[in-house]
Amino acid sequence: MRYLDWQLDDPAGLVVEAARPIRDAVARALESTDNPKAGSRLATCYKDDRILNGDAFYVKVN
């Protein structure tokens, strides 16, 4: 995993047309392998650690 510090405008509260260039700048800056790797880790988390409605679970409180 790597961390990058980008100087980007905050898209919060912008209309879609104004936020798209910010989104596109991020997409261009990412290496093509970064997104699939992150998606794979997220998919593993959902598969292994996700609690669905009706699943039994417990919470340990110390």
How much is the average pLDDT of 31-43?
76
Residue 2 has pLDDT above 70, yes or no: no
Distances from the Cα of 60 to the Cα of 53, 57, angstroms: 19, 10
State the DSSP code for 60: -
4-25 pLDDT, tens digit each = 777 878 888 889 898 998 888 8
For the segment 20-38, the average pLDDT, to the nearest whole number, is: 79
Q: Which of the given ranges, 5-9, 14-18, 38-42, 52-56, has the highest pLDDT on average?
A: 14-18
Q: What DSSP letter does each residue of 1-55 carry, written as one string?
A: -----------TT--HHHHHHHHHHHHHHS-TTHHHHHHHHHHHHHHHH---TT-
More confident residue, 32 or 12: 12
- Between these two residues, 51 and 1, which has the higher pLDDT value? 51
